[in-house]
Each structure stands twice: as structure tokens, then as C-alpha cells.
Amino acid sequence: MTSASSPVPSTAGRRQLLITVAAVLTALCVIAKVTADRQLADRTVNLGPLDLQLGFNFGVAFGLGDQMPKAAIVVVTAAITLGVLTVAWHRAQELPLVALVGFAAVVAGALSNVVDRAPDGRVTDYFHTGWYPTFNLPDVLITVDAGLIVLGVIREDRNAETSGRSSKT
């Protein structure tokens, strides 16, 4: 599924990219969480359509499952994160580069939320719109980059179809 028009890094190089991007984004997410905890404890920062306002989520997406045992949420989320990383690791060579980076960002967002939740059972949220549940940078990474994975794979499939048709003519 890789494009013939661009050089393809080795499997080891693609795996290194996966881990490096995931590590850098995880670090950024942890820094954002620590900063939010310190800077937003007693105030809201208005940025127009978006406020920076401290909030906490004891559940998973949109607060669902907030009555579940904290350990269960941590274990299940960590297992899913490991599963996503495993898929990306094993398919690193065949994934389009945009999808590989998307997988790295999804892993970073999920891992950041696991690290945040593990000590006290809650995730720190800080982006507040007033019309949508409060969320955080890891949530943005998971959502946006899941879309990038899909778009990257669709684009690559279309490229493969096009080059398959042109080689038959």
C-alpha cells in the first residue's frame, strides 16, 4: 500500500518514526496536562470560541463509564492502546506515511490519557466550548488522527486503483 513515487523508508525506519512521534506527542500531552493543572486551578482563560478551563473526566469518552472501577478503565484503555500500537508496529511498512503518523498520534493520545488517569482515576480536561464536553489535547490527537488514518488509507487505496488501471492500458 505504499506509493511507488516516493522513497519508502525501511521497516525499521518507519517503526522508529512511529515510536518517536508517539513519544514526542505523549510528552507534549503530559506537559499540557501539568500546565493546565498548575495554571487553571482557579481561573478560566477566554480564547474566543474556546476557553481554557480545568475539568475532570472520571469516565471514558464523554464521561461514559464513570461508575466503572478506575482500575478497569486503566487496564482496558492500556490494552486498547497496546493493541493499536501493535497493529501499527506490524503494519508499519505497508501503511501510508500519513496513516503511520496518525497511528502514532492516536497511541500518544491514548497513552497520555492512561498516564493521566492511573494515579487518581480521572483525566484532566482543559478545552471548554460551552456547547461540547470539555476535552484535552490527547482527545484531539485521538479524534483528528483517527480521521487521518482513514483518509490516508482511502487515498492510498485510490492511488493503488489508479496505478492498477494505468498499468493495464
67's CB contacts (< 8 A; 6+ apart) are 59
Out of 120, 125, 145, 157, the active site residue is 125
Contact 127, 159 (CB under 8 A): no
- Is 37 one of the catalytic residues? no
Side-chain half-sphere CA neighbours of 11 within 13 A: 7
- Is 66 one of the catalytic residues? no
Give buried/exposed letters for 22-44 (b at 16+ CB in 10 A, else e).
beebbeebbebbeebeeebeeee
User: β-pairing, 123-128 with 44-46?
Assistant: unpaired
139's CB contacts (< 8 A; 6+ apart) are 61, 109, 113, 125
> Which residues are annotated as catalytic?
125, 139
